[in-house]
Amino acid sequence: MNTFLSSYNGTSPSPIGFYITAFHTLENKNYLIFALSVIYILTMLGNLLVLVVLFLNPSLHNPKYIAVCNLAVVDISMNSVIIPQMVPVFVFNLNVISFGACFSQMFFMHFFGGMESFSLAILSYDRLVAICFPLRYQTINTNIRMFVILAVVWAIAFFLEIYPVALASQLSYCASRIVRSCCCEHGPVYILACGDTSFNRKLATTKTLIVLFSPLSFIVLTYIIIVIAVLKIASVEQRRKAFSTCFTHMLLVLIYYLPVILAYILGNLRLISSPDLLTAILTVSVTLPPMLNPIIYSLKTEELREKIMKLIRLHKISPALKQTAIT
């Protein structure tokens, strides 16, 4: 093993890729892998259930639930990029990853991470139109217009992420190939390159500000406008209903942004001395929102909750009807 690692430190020629080393000093890392496995299973089940319910109910084929469907697809993709590849790395010690696989994983991980942020902004836009322009909602926010918005956002996220990854893939990695992370993140990889990487660092910072804080700023602005509009409503009951329609989306925003900001603060202030522990916290914080999003929507959105319960009841009744027909 020491000889193998020495090749990834640049003391032996022709390493075939990168070597993932996160969580080596973390105690009870099997519990972390188990927790992530549970998160992944619940992510798949919850989001697939939401997609099936939305697909089977034409009454839900509207701009709001098209945006919800988009979020479910992003949630599934996000955790599918991150979690499954960690099992062979940390359970079976298959730590080697090729250059192509590493940069492909880097792109898709950051791409769907960015789409998670943009998807929340799209839901915020839908709430803004629904509350501030309720009588014109059907004409302002049509299905076609929502599809166009989604297509534009996916294209923006693609071009924002492809350039930093392509640039990092062209760097010369003639020194260490040991990636001190749980996967091929952009930061832990490009810092291993030989030569000047200051442009890569500035590019990564700029991209992060655009992908994370631009949608967050838009979301905050929309809710300021919504609050002002709702406070002008005379009826207390109407104000309560207006705020309740935003409550689900606000939960999603808090669940996504608060852990990311907290992990960033902990890392920069060095409040956690163990890099592996910080990586574990960040990994869980990134993978939790895709699991919780469908649960929150199922529990907090009455219309969707009713459709899910109806689907479950039909599933229970169907076997009973088949058994009756047989007897």
According to DSSP, the β-strands at 17-20 and 96-98 are antiparallel
Residues 102-148: tens digit of each pLDDT? 999 999 999 999 999 999 999 999 989 988 888 888 899 999 999 99
Among candidate residues 289, 290, 307, the one with its CA nearest the CA of residue 298: 307
pLDDT score, position 44: 95
Least reliable range by pLDDT among 8-17, 76-85, 289-298: 8-17
Judging by beta carbons within 10 Å of its beta carbon (0-12, 13-18, 19+), is residue 79 exposed, middle or buried?
Answer: buried
Stretch 4-14: mean pLDDT: 47
Stretch 166-194: mean pLDDT: 84
d(CA 43, CA 174) in angstroms, rounded, equals 39
Among candidate residues 246, 308, 317, the one with its CA nearest the CA of residue 55: 308
Exposure string for 314-326, b = 16+ CB within 10 A, e = fewer:
eeeeeeeeeeeee
d(CA 47, CA 296) in angstroms, rounded, equals 11
Q: Express as a percent the part of the chain with pLDDT over 70.
A: 83
pLDDT score, position 103: 92
- Residue 61: C-alpha distances to residues 83, 137, 241, 242, 247 (Å): 31, 15, 22, 22, 22
H or E segment and range at residue 29: helix 29-56
pLDDT at 321 over 50: no
DSSP state of 211: I
Query: Can you name the residues that pair with 96 across neighbouring β-strands?
Result: 19
pLDDT score, position 160: 93
Residues 231-287: tens digit of each pLDDT? 887 677 777 777 777 777 788 888 888 877 776 666 555 555 566 666 777 777 788
Q: Express as a percent the part of the chain with pLDDT over 90.
A: 29
Structure-model confidence comparison of residues 214 and 279, the more confident one: 214
Domain ranges of the chain: 2-326
pLDDT at 21 over 90: no
**Mean of per-residue pLDDT scores for the chain:** 81
DSSP state of 185: -
Residues 30-74: tens digit of each pLDDT? 777 888 889 999 999 999 999 998 888 888 889 999 999 999 999
pLDDT score, position 36: 86
Structure-model confidence comparison of residues 22 and 106, the more confident one: 106
Does domain 2-326 correspond to CATH entry 3.40.50.1000?
no
